[in-house]
Each structure stands twice: as structure tokens, then as C-alpha cells.
Amino acid sequence: MNIIILGTGRIGQAISLDLSSHPELNLTIVDQDEERVNRLQKKLGLKGIIADLAQEKDILDLVAGYDLVVNALPGKLGFRIMKAVIQAGIDEVDVSFFPENPLNLNSLAKSKNLKILTDCGLAPGLSNLMVGRAYAQLDKIESVKIYVGGLPKERKLPWEFYSFFSPEDIVQEYIRPARLKKDNQILVKPALEAIEHVYFRGIGTLEAFLTDGLRTLLYTLDIPNMEEKTLRYPGHREKIKFLQGLGLFGDNEVVLVNQKVIPLDLTTKLLAQAWFADDGQADYTVMRIEVIGRREGQELKINYELIDEYDPDQKLSSMSRTTGFTTAACVLLLKEGLLSSTGVIPLEVIGQVDDCYSFILKYLKERNIVIHENIEEKST
């Protein structure tokens, strides 16, 4: 199986590292950062290509002849790349966090009999898989709450935060309006709102606020109430709101000393520097999913919880592991031919297929990424 991996950032590196352990896969990595490509190429013995995927023709030329495309580039490129890959007639596993709705490409993908797995990371991704699992287990789901975040183990002021994936995508999480469902209606609210505090054993109390992580869940499953919140150490949101209040996330040009500056671009660049995480920076990944529903007339609550840590042996951040290895599991799922569906397929659909769900969970467990499930009856 000839696979081309677009992107050699932290997530792309984790995907490449994991897939390189499967000798039956022929891997090619692509990025415009020559130093990263050369370093990863030397470390893993993969074919490397230096390319800037700015134009659709560049994408089509690059992916021609491959069996599968893995897209781990920043979200601003994701939708355009997915569309080009479908037009090229190639299957794809996508972990970019783009703002467009991937389901808009479903008909095109089906017409070409392709399997396009979308949002194959942590959240959206693994979170969707678990919601899909609960959807298959219960007769009816009334509500879903998803809490998820990446945190440094060392709390260092002023941010108590480091970016373990694209800082540009993190900033977009903070400014992109958050969609949620209430009583079967899709509502749009500002990100960072509806703050609450959630306790995790071994870590402590974290703050949670709305972000736009439900994605395809808004349209694929009949669940009347859903929301997704990002987790951070307490006080982080207040700092982001301060920057927002100053207009530093604005996208209109500002004239400064006879030069035009877009505040958002400057702020993103400065935050990327302030949030930069060294390769050895230890981190946690924390996720909790709370599902309330009914089965055979009994009201049940299902909790899924994941707490993962930095891997000192592989020198991989937890966020890279949980995101990249989930993506790799999706690649192997396609290789094994376990998925019969075609079109644009989110992980909540895969979570309802027993063999596919078990395959991904087993794959992650072998890499010490374990999701704990707890089901309890709710008293009436």
C-alpha cells in the first residue's frame, strides 16, 4: 500500500513514526519545511518530498499514483486538499481541523466509490468514535457532553499552556463560533463561553469552555442535546478574553508606522512563540465524555474517560500520540478492508460498527492509550 503523508509537524511525525513500523506500507512524507522532512526521512528511512501545496494542480500532481492520502496539514488547507484528493480518485484519512463541513463532499466521494475518513484525530475524532459507540449501545441518547484538552505537566506562568499541535488551529478554536445542539436545534454561540469547572483525579480542577468541536456530530446522529468544551488550567480563558477585548484577534488590516498589519496574524505568530513546546516537554491529554440515554426503558449514564501522558521513550507528546495514533489506526482500518461504507465517513459512523470500533480501540490499547468506560443506572 503506497501512502503519502502531507505534513511533518508534531502530528504528522507521530503518524509517520507509527506507520513506519508496518513494513508492508510504503510511506512518502511531504512538507514545505525542508529541515523537518530531511530529519524525519533520515530517522525513519522514508521517501521525502519538499512541496508547497498552494495550488490544486500541485495537490493533484503530488498525490497521483498513491493508494491513500493522509492529511496532517493545518486546517486552512484541509477542505481544499480533501476535494482535490477526491477528484483524483484516491482514498483519504484526514486529521486537519478545517472550518468547512466535510459532509458537503460526501456525494462526490460516493460517486467515485471512495472512502474518505474525516476528523480522525483526538477531538474531533476519538471523541466521535466513543459517541458513535454509545449511540449503538443505547436505544435513545438524550444528551452528550464532551470535555477535552491538552495540558503541560509543568504549570508555568503566565500561560500554563503549550501548543502540542498547530498553534494556528488552537487560535481558531478560540475565535471560531461554537455550535451546539439544544432540544434538537443547532445553536451558535461565541467560543470561550459557558465556563464551568471539572475535576480530574491526579490533575485537579480544570476550566472548561465552549469550542466548535462537535463538527459532523451535529448532522449525523439523532441526539437532541450536545456540546463540546475545551479544558485548560483555570485562568487561561481570562487571558485569551483579554487579548480578544483588545482586538488582537481581528482580521481587518491596521496601519502601524506606515505598514499594514492584520492583528490576528501577528497575535498567532506571537502566541506560537510563547506557547512553543520543546520536544521533551511533558504533557497530559484529558478527555471525558458524558452520555445520558435509555436502553430498554432504563435511564443510563455512560462515561468515557482518557488521561494520557507524554511518552519519554519515544519522546512523543501525549497530544501527538493520542491524535497521531488514532489517525494511524484509521489508516490500518482501511488497509485491512474492515470498512465497507463509502463517501465521507466520520468516526461516529465507524464507532457503530463493532469490528471497526474494536480494531481502533485494540490498536490504541497496544500503544498504552486506554479509554475507560463506566455505565451506571440513573435513579428516577
DSSP states of 270-335: HHHHHTB--TT--EEEEEEEEEEEEETTEEEEEEEEEEEE-BTTTTB-HHHHHHHHHHHHHHHHHH
Which pLDDT does position 257 carry in this prediction? 82
Q: Are residues 77 and 136 in the same domain?
A: no
Judge whether residue 7 has pLDDT over 80.
yes
Q: Is residue 345 part of a domain?
A: no
Q: Are residues 182 and 313 in the same domain?
A: yes
Q: Are residues 292 and 171 in the same domain?
A: yes
How far are the Cα atoms of 9, 11, 164, 166, 261 from residue 282, in angstroms, in the given order?
Answer: 17, 16, 10, 17, 35
Rounded to whole angstroms, the Cα distance separating 333 from 330 reads: 5
Counted domains in the chain: 2
Q: Is residue 162 part of a domain?
A: yes
Q: Is residue 349 part of a domain?
A: no
pLDDT digits (tens, 9 = 90+) for 59-79: 888 999 999 999 998 888 889
Q: Are residues 40 and 135 in the same domain?
A: no
Q: Are residues 133 and 208 in the same domain?
A: yes
| Mean pLDDT across 344-363 | 97
Q: Are residues 100 and 162 in the same domain?
A: no
Q: Is residue 350 part of a domain?
A: no
- In which domain, by residue range, is 31 found? 2-118
Q: Is residue 281 part of a domain?
A: yes
Which pLDDT does position 271 carry in this prediction? 94
Indicate the pLDDT class of residue 215, thresholds 50, 70 and 90.
Answer: very high
H or E segment and range at residue 207: strand 204-210
Judge whether residue 341 has pLDDT over 60.
yes
Judge whether residue 345 has pLDDT over 70.
yes
Indicate the pLDDT class of residue 244, thresholds 50, 70 and 90.
Answer: very high
Q: Are residues 180 and 271 in the same domain?
A: yes
Which pLDDT does position 74 carry in this prediction? 83
**Residue ranges in 68-198 assigned as alpha helix (H):** 75-87, 106-111, 126-137, 167-175
Which pLDDT does position 380 carry in this prediction? 57
Judge whether residue 265 has pLDDT over 90.
yes
Q: Is residue 76 part of a domain?
A: yes
Which pLDDT does position 61 carry in this prediction? 87
Specify the 3-state DSSP secondary structure of 141.
strand
Q: Is residue 62 part of a domain?
A: yes
Last residue of a domain, one of 294, 319, 344: 319
| Mean pLDDT across 79-92 | 95
CA angle 90, 30, 327 (to 5 degrees): 60
Q: Residue 16 is part of a domain; what is its CATH number? A: 3.40.50.720
| Mean pLDDT across 351-356 | 96
